[in-house]
Amino acid sequence: MVIFLHGDLGAGKTTLVRGIMNAMGYSGRIKSPTYTLVEPYHINGLDLRHFDLYRLNDEAEWEAAGFRDEFDGRNIFLIEWPEKAMGFIPKADIDITFEILPDGRDVGIKGNTPSGRECLEQF
Ligand SMILES: Nc1ncnc2c1ncn2[C@@H]1O[C@H](COP(=O)(O)OP(=O)(O)O)[C@@H](O)[C@H]1O
Ligand SMILES: [Mg+2]
């Protein structure tokens, strides 16, 4: 499952990731992967990868870090700033788009694949 989180700095992407992981039963610290680019988690038998690609420079860096091998069909990916890896990152099953409004935030959620849509139907 690949989930893209779109939105400006401070829009609430990391906050939603924390909320999802807490709801899954994780009570440890969830730090923003701003500098590490990725943080791995194992929660209730599921392997999650929280990416923040804001500081990713290019495809060579992506390959050198071995990120391509992560996409083996088993892991769940929550990816902030996927725009930085467009063209060499897998397609998203779900797109979540944040918009900062004068009084709050607007969030759009879209399923792109059968498994993405099936996941959203559980809501
Ligand atoms: N839905 C929300 N309502 C109010 N404040 C929020 C909301 N989501 C995030 N914030 C606050 O905005 C700040 C930045 O959020 P963060 O999730 O780090 O943004 P992003 O990861 O998109 O850069 C944090 O201080 C957070 O507490
Ligand atoms: Mg963030």
pLDDT in tens, 34-91: 999 999 999 999 999 999 999 999 999 999 999 998 988 889 999 999 999 999 999 9
What stretch of H or E contains 14?
helix 13-23
Which atom of ligand 1 is nearest to 104's Cα?
3
Give the pLDDT score at 11.
Answer: 96
> What sign does the CA torsion over 115, 67, 57, 5 have?
positive
With a 6 Å cutoff on the Cβ, whether 14 touches ligand 1 is yes
How far is residue 116's CA from residue 38's CA, in Å, rounded to a whole number? 22
The predicted pLDDT at position 20 comes to 95
- Judged against a pLDDT cut of 90, whether residue 123 lies above it is answered with no
Ligand 1 contact via 10 beta carbon (within 6 Å): yes
Measure 16 CA to ligand 1 centroid, in angstroms. Answer: 8
pLDDT above 90 covers a percentage of the chain that reads 92
Separation between Cα atoms, residue 7 and residue 105, nearest integer Å: 11
- Cβ atoms of 87 and 81 within 8 Å: the answer is no
Cα–Cα distance, 49 to 76 (Å, whole number) = 6
pLDDT given at position 72: 82
